[in-house]
Amino acid sequence: MRNILVIFAGIIVGGIVAVFGVAAIKERAPRLANPLTQPLETTGNFRPSPADRQIRAAQSMIEQITSDPRGYNLLSDAFMQKARESGDFSFNSRAEVALKHSEELAPDNYDALKLRAKLLLTYHRFREALAVAERAQAKNPKDDDVYGALTDALVEIGDYPAAVKAAQTMVDLRPNTASYSRVSYLRSLHGETEGAIEIMRLAANSASPQNPEGKAWCLVQLGDELMNAGRYQEAEREFDRALFVFPDYYMALAGKARARIADGDTDQAIELLKRAQDRVPLIDTASALGDLYTKLGRQQEAQQQYKFVDLIERAGAAGTDTYSLQMALFWADHDMRLDEALRIAQRERATRADIYTCDTLAWCLYKKGNFEEARQEIQQALRLGTHDPRLYYHAGMIYKALDDRPNAVKNLRLALKLNPTFSVLQAEVAVRTLKALNA
């Protein structure tokens, strides 16, 4: 499953910075108890990132004029960018505190309204984010930034026609990295892989050098699209470019690992996934690493990774809904806690109709033996013609369970044609299933 959420909420960071500038910050002792104004903790040869500099600039502004909401807006924006840069999403909580200060000082301030929509997106509260973004749009229908939040929320709840309209408005108002990246993703969702690649190149090339994480993110998305097109060497070059632009970027490390798996280099893939895991512990990374160990017969190490996924869940990732679908998909893939996985998928599906929520529910229903319901959901997941091998794999397995051999063969072949290594373990199941079907 592509986790697109972390994409967009902060792809234009610096709009507020551009207005106020980044002032030179004098060194200050960590004497302030206020978490909004205390310096960031640093170790070793710390080199401030763009977000660090924005945070310091905002803190300086707040110290000088505590009654001005603009400083808190700047700080909230910077904390969200810091979360993206570092993968430490606790910074979003600090962004929330800063934003509340801004809203208390000026309840009707427009920048706070836009930031509120973006923050709700990071928490996966998509319908709330949509409502707030619509309020902002009503205040200023010519602000391209507002249409970014609208697009993101509409994509996540599955209202794709409205998302396309919002993205088109955004790119018409301001063709830049933020609007190009959204258009690219929508093209990808609609099965237009080459068009998605073309537009994502534009997004990466237009990215500001002042936001290396944003550029690296675009390069990773470009690499993923190239992987889906079977262009693995090109994809790996883009992952390498991302690592050059933003060293040790966890998304790029995981992307390069996928390219190494496609090339049969499991040893380097493991090392890359371990590095990504050290940077940011995520369910998808731990699951992929565990599956590699399983494939290599290293069961003890595999179980350690699967237990690590459980630790992430126990720490509250699933409970906050941020990673609940990834958790449900992991459990379904590994035939673990299937009742709980199904409950999560059903709960999400009750409020969302995006293709990946439909797919996760379909897979959980299949694992529970509810094949006809699974068919209905997988048809919804495939409704846009998205070129995602996992979607086709799930469809193939569901149709096989329904004794629909032609559709089973067609979808399993499509999955393996797009990417024969789309999943270390599930791709092997697809191959074995096709052989069992004499296809």
Give per-residue pLDDT as tens, 215-255: 999 999 999 999 989 999 999 999 999 999 999 999 999 99
Q: Among 2-6, 113-117, 181-185, where is mean pLDDT lowest? A: 2-6
Q: Measure the CA–CA gap between 179 and 169, rounded to whole angstroms.
A: 9
Q: Do 283 and 320 form a contact (C-beta atoms < 8 A)?
A: no
pLDDT computed for residue 41 by the predictor: 56
Closest CA to 105 of 132, 133, 76: 76
Residue 150 has pLDDT above 50, yes or no: yes
Side chain identity at residue 403, one-letter code: D
Side chain identity at residue 132, one-letter code: V
Residue 250 backbone dihedrals phi, psi, to 5 degrees: -60, -35
pLDDT computed for residue 49 by the predictor: 83
Closest CA to 388 of 370, 362, 367, 350: 362
Residue 379 has pLDDT above 60, yes or no: yes
Q: Do 257 and 235 form a contact (C-beta atoms < 8 A)?
A: no
Mean pLDDT on 144-173: 97
Is the whole-model pTM more than 0.85? yes
Q: How confident is the model at residue 85 (pLDDT cuts 50, 70, 90)?
A: confident
Mean pLDDT on 24-47: 46
Q: Do 80 and 13 form a contact (C-beta atoms < 8 A)?
A: yes
Q: Which position has the higher pLDDT, 49 or 358? A: 358
Q: Among 27-41, 99-113, 353-367, 411-425, where is mean pLDDT lowest? A: 27-41
pLDDT computed for residue 373 by the predictor: 98
| Residue 78, both tokens | 């910077």
Mean pLDDT on 103-125: 94
pLDDT computed for residue 35 by the predictor: 54
Q: Which long-range contacts (CB under 8 A, 24 or more apart) does 408-412 make?
A: 408/433, 408/437, 409/434, 409/437, 409/439, 412/437, 412/439
Q: Do 126 and 113 form a contact (C-beta atoms < 8 A)?
A: no
Q: Which position has the higher pLDDT, 259 or 38? A: 259
Side chain identity at residue 4, one-letter code: I
Q: Measure the CA–CA gap between 156 and 179, rounded to whole angstroms.
A: 17
pLDDT computed for residue 439 by the predictor: 74
Q: Measure the CA–CA gap between 343 and 360, rounded to whole angstroms.
A: 11
- For 189, counting Cβ atoms within 10 Å of its Cβ (0-12 exposed, 13-18 middle, 19+ buried), the class is buried
Residue 296 has pLDDT above 50, yes or no: yes
Q: Among 64-68, 170-174, 272-276, where is mean pLDDT lowest? A: 64-68
Q: Residues 169-216: pLDDT tens digits?
A: 999 999 999 999 999 999 999 999 999 999 999 999 999 998 999 999
Q: How confident is the model at residue 317 (pLDDT cuts 50, 70, 90)?
A: very low
The C-alpha R_g of the chain, in whole angstroms, comes to 22
Average pLDDT, whole number, for the chain? 88
Residue 313 has pLDDT above 80, yes or no: no
Domain boundaries, the chain: 1-123, 387-436
Closest CA to 437 of 411, 395, 416, 408: 408
- For 161, counting Cβ atoms within 10 Å of its Cβ (0-12 exposed, 13-18 middle, 19+ buried), the class is exposed
pLDDT computed for residue 3 by the predictor: 47
Q: Measure the CA–CA gap between 67 and 64, rounded to whole angstroms.
A: 9
Backbone torsion region of residue 297, taken as left when φ is above 0, otherwise alpha when ψ lies between -120 and 50, otherwise beta = left
Mean pLDDT on 410-420: 96
Side chain identity at residue 419, one-letter code: N
Q: Residues 329-351: pLDDT tens digits?
A: 999 999 999 999 999 999 999 99
Q: Measure the CA–CA gap between 274 and 339, rounded to whole angstroms.
A: 30
Closest CA to 133 of 160, 161, 163, 106: 163
